[in-house]
Amino acid sequence: MTGVGKGLSLVAVHDGRIVGIAGIHTPSLPRMRGIGDMMIYLHQDFHGAGLGTAMTEKLLALAKNKGLHRVGLEVVEDNRAAVHLYEKCGFTIEGISVDAYYGADGKYHNMLVMGKVV
């Protein structure tokens, strides 16, 4: 099927429960060859313990091993933990989408476009 890509996925399991997921989606379109989009989401009880760093580093290593050229993502500008994590793992801020996210606080927030050539 056109447009349905392959990708990389990681799941963190603790005591038989899934506590984190992370992945890189790689569209199968020819002009998107080697380009992936990353996401990560951890259960709140597992924040701040280094799991996000470990999963991101593992995912990037898998991406490099698979021959991906670039990994990109978008993150809410106020999400300081995530922005710090991504910068620590080598992503740079490439642009800002103004008021591109409507938060639970009822306000619009900027989104950062970040990327890394792996």
Residues of this chain that interact with ligand COA (CB under 6 A) are 40-42, 47-53, 73, 75, 79-82, 84-85, 88
What is the number of other CB atoms lying within 10 angstroms of the CB of residue 34?
14
Nearer to ligand COA, 51 or 68 (CB): 51
Q: Which residue has the tokens 């992936």?
A: 36
CA separation for the pair 59, 57 (Å, rounded): 5
Smallest gap from residue 33 Cβ to ligand COA (A): 24
Distance separating alpha carbons of residues 60 and 15, to the nearest angstrom:
25
Q: Please, what is the minimum distance in Å from the beta carbon of residue 64 to ligand COA?
A: 19
Q: Which is nearer to ligand COA, 27 or 101 (CB)?
A: 101
CA 3 from centre of chain: 20
Q: From the CB of 30, what's the least distance to ligand COA, in Å?
A: 27
